[in-house]
Structure 1
């Protein structure tokens, strides 16, 4: 079963699209994201949903990847799918990946796709919650403690069958997803500290290639 990946800018903040263009080791964060995905041999197509204001800059950052990568202006996941639907044959695994999670290990991406192939219609990588989580009231007073044994931080890529992908594109929700182990390197890169970590990961990867 083949694999299609949709790369999106998850809009937690209006500046997320610009963050995808932040330089990391001499290249845009987005460039690292897509290069890492294309390292998977069974991945057929990467579709990058580019916000209109950044579409040209996204295209420039991904120059050279055109054979297996499409840039679709507009941030809607459904619009991105409609644009490339005619190129999609058979019944592939669909993945949705956050552009800011540039250093998600290939093994994690592959594990998500494999879980869908094994019969899970909706899959998400997660990490256990390490911090103690407190509940506060409107006056900012602590009123309780959440049991972190059942808490997880969600990562991407999300994995889907066609049916669940189209349902998610119409109304995004993580309810009902099967979880697999995530990876610390799959962090969202959103601030100066995380950019420094991303630089270190990128340089470590180059050193491994030289060895």
Structure 2
């Protein structure tokens, strides 16, 4: 089994308050995207494609190893992942899609996703249990119900797929439809998604506080 990793790195970083794309924001002296690429390669992925903002291609090329392929992203995440799939080499039969904004994802998570794919799962996501009380609120902000936590999970990346399955699912997705992640795309096509254990260290960097917490982990 050969795997290609696609790193979604075309986000603007506005919520992070950055003056550059989020994936280029430094964590302990290295851009977030460099951490994400290293995680995939260390975890067992054979090649990596990074989807970047077209205007920032040179900055990404300077920040990443020469063996990493760069491809221009689109206006939406869906368009960007499609571009990454089109740019992937022909030899890979499985695809892992990872967020550059999850820089401290341990390579063990990648290994677990790859193992589940090798065992025959067509789609795999790393997940964590929901530990907080979760409620439903109405438009006025009033709690109307409590949601049982036992069946709930928080979904992380990298998410892994049989390549042909993911390509077909994206081809079947109607124009203009945007889903929250790639697992939702294959589920919309009727494909079952298998779960493996995620990791708390794979938290997403979205706001400045997230970046601060990631920095504290690196300095431990």
TM-score norm. by structure 2 comes to: 0.81
Question: Hey, what's the Cα distance between the residues in 2 that align with 1:35 and 1:78?
Answer: 22
| Structure 1 residue aligned with 2:120 | 119
Question: Hey, what's the Cα distance between the residues in 2 that align with 1:12 and 1:31?
Answer: 17
| Structure 1 residue aligned with 2:104 | 103
Q: How many angstroms does 1:173 deviate by? A: 4.5
Question: Hey, what's the Cα distance between the residues in 2 that align with 1:151 and 1:10?
Answer: 29
Question: Hey, what's the Cα distance between the residues in 2 that align with 1:184 and 1:60?
Answer: 30
User: Of residues 26, 33, 43 in structure 1, which corresponds to 2:45?
Assistant: 43
| Structure 1 residue aligned with 2:210 | 194
Q: How many angstroms does 1:14 deviate by? A: 5.8
Gaps of 5+ in 2: 75-79, 174-181
Helix, strand or coil: the match of 2:110?
helix
| Structure 2 residue aligned with 1:209 | none
Question: Hey, what's the Cα distance between the residues in 2 that align with 1:107 and 1:133?
Answer: 29
Aligned CA RMSD, in angstroms, stands at 2.2
Q: How many angstroms does 1:108 deviate by? A: 0.6
Question: Hey, what's the Cα distance between the residues in 1 that align with 2:150 and 2:139?
Answer: 25
Per-residue CA distance 1:153-205 (angstroms, 9 max, x = gap): 1100111012222134443442331111100000101222221221133234x
Name whichever of 71-80 and 101-110 sits farther off.
71-80
| Structure 2 residue aligned with 1:70 | 69
Alignment of 1:134-149 (within 5 A): 134-149=135-150
> Are 1:10 and 1:98, in contact at CA under 8 Å, matched by a contact in 2?
no
> Are 2:35 and 2:103, in contact at CA under 8 Å, matched by a contact in 1?
yes
| Structure 2 residue aligned with 1:208 | none
Question: Hey, what's the Cα distance between the residues in 1 that align with 2:205 and 2:112?
Answer: 22
| Structure 1 residue aligned with 2:90 | 88
Helix, strand or coil: the match of 2:46?
strand
Runs of 4+ in 1 over 3 A off after TM superposition: 9-17, 167-173
Per-residue CA distance 1:61-85 (angstroms, 9 max, x = gap): 21xx112x1111224212222223x
Question: Hey, what's the Cα distance between the residues in 2 that align with 1:46 and 1:133?
Answer: 37
Q: How many angstroms does 1:27 deviate by? A: 1.3
Gaps of 5+ in 1: 205-211
Residues paired across the two proteins, number: 197
